[in-house]
């Protein structure tokens, strides 16, 4: 896909905004960087071929503007440090799309292109995550956000048939995991985020390649194609011994060592719910051969499962 000069400018502005926020040491440049990031991303969200993308861009702009206003206002309230810190975290959690302020994520994501959805669920979450990690200590409020994100993400995506909605709820659940990984430090959080981003983008590329927007449409692809699609989903869900399993294992080991039993138990239940649904989809898709058309889409790919397994082993060795 050939990018227009204006699109390249917006992409650079979006990336520069995130870099400014991540490298800043005071609240004003953090806020300024986030605003640059939003201004760069919103024009990229609008697609002339998709009339609903404008609605998604407007909804995203409103949510981010309210959060940014709250962030800027509370960052200058030095006389009420504890209260200001809580409201700053509230603004960042809303920007992040973690529960209980996750309501905007599925409705925005489902109306975007696959590429823009991938950016929304990965790059746009990086700066808020790092800033939350620097600004937050382990507290009851943060533990509640983690628990709600895990359960809302898993249960919300359980009976979805729209693939974009399913990926959006999966992202909410992963935010719970990533915020849990924060308790083990920045390195563990970034490791989880990088593997999550890679796994999600691989899944979205597959879905975009085959043009699958609904679960039922996956039955119209070849058996090999269905296997590749759902193998990526199982990797995203953390199926051992695939790559996505290892950051979850590291996070659970760390939380159990720190005696966060309830959080660990909720994470396990959340992962089981996600894997149950993905396994059910995989089994159904691979066994419904009578739905497969003669002219079904079939594209040759490298042995992706081997790459995912080797990636997981290398991650384990590096950690």
The confidence band for 140, taking pLDDT boundaries of 50, 70 and 90, is confident
What is the 8-class DSSP label of residue 301? -
- Predicted TM-score (pTM) of the model is 0.88
Q: Among 96, 230, 73, which Cα is nearest to 175's?
A: 96
How far apart, in Å, do the first and last CA atoms of the chain sit?
37
- pLDDT surpassing 70 at residue 193: yes
The C-alpha torsion from 43 through 66 and 200 to 13, rounded to 10°, is 40
pLDDT of residue 1: 55
Contact 210, 285 (CB under 8 A): no
Respond yes or no on whether the N-terminal peptide bond of residue 318 is cis (omega within 30° of 0): no
**Per-domain boundaries in the chain:** 5-318
pLDDT of residue 225: 77
For residues 19-32, give the mean pLDDT.
93
pLDDT of residue 288: 61
How do residues 54-108 score in pLDDT, each as one tens digit?
999 999 999 999 999 999 988 887 655 666 788 889 999 999 999 999 999 999 9
Contact 223, 286 (CB under 8 A): yes
How do residues 196-237 score in pLDDT, each as one tens digit?
999 999 999 988 988 888 877 665 567 777 778 888 888 998
Please state, for a pLDDT cut of 70, what percent of the chain lies above it. 85
* Run of H or E including 38: helix 27-45
């Amino acid at each position: 896909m050939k990018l227009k000069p204006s699109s390249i400018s917006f992409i650079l502005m979006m990336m520069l905004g995130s870099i400014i926020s991540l490298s800043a040491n005071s609240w004003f440049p953090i806020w300024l960087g986030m605003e640059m990031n939003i201004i760069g991303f919103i024009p990229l969200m609008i697609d002339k071929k998709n009339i609903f993308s404008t609605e998604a861009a407007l909804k995203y702009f409103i949510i981010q503007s309210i959060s940014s206003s709250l962030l800027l206002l509370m960052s200058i309230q030095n006389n009420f440090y504890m209260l200001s810190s809580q409201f700053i975290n509230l603004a960042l959690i809303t920007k992040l799309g973690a529960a209980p302020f996750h309501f905007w994520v599925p409705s925005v994501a489902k109306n975007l292109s696959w590429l823009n959805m991938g950016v929304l669920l990965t790059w746009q979450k990086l700066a808020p995550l790092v800033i939350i990690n620097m600004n937050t200590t382990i507290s009851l409020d943060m533990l509640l956000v983690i628990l709600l994100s895990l359960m809302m993400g898993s249960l919300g995506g359980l009976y979805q048939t729209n693939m974009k909605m399913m990926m959006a709820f999966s992202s909410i659940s992963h935010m719970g995991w990533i915020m849990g990984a924060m308790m083990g430090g920045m390195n563990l959080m970034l490791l989880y985020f990088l593997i999550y981003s890679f796994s999600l983008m691989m899944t979205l590329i597959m879905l975009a390649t085959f043009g699958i927007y609904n679960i039922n449409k996956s039955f119209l692809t070849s058996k090999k194609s269905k296997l590749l699609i759902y193998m990526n989903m199982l990797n995203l869900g953390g199926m051992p011994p695939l790559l996505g399993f290892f950051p979850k294992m590291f996070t659970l080991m760390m939380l159990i060592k720190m005696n966060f039993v309830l959080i660990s138990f909720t994470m396990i239940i959340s992962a089981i719910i996600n894997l149950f649904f993905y396994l059910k989809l995989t089994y159904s898709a691979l066994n419904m051969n009578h739905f497969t058309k003669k002219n079904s889409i079939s594209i040759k790919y490298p042995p992706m499962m081997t790459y995912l397994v080797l990636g997981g082993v290398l991650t384990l060795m590096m950690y």
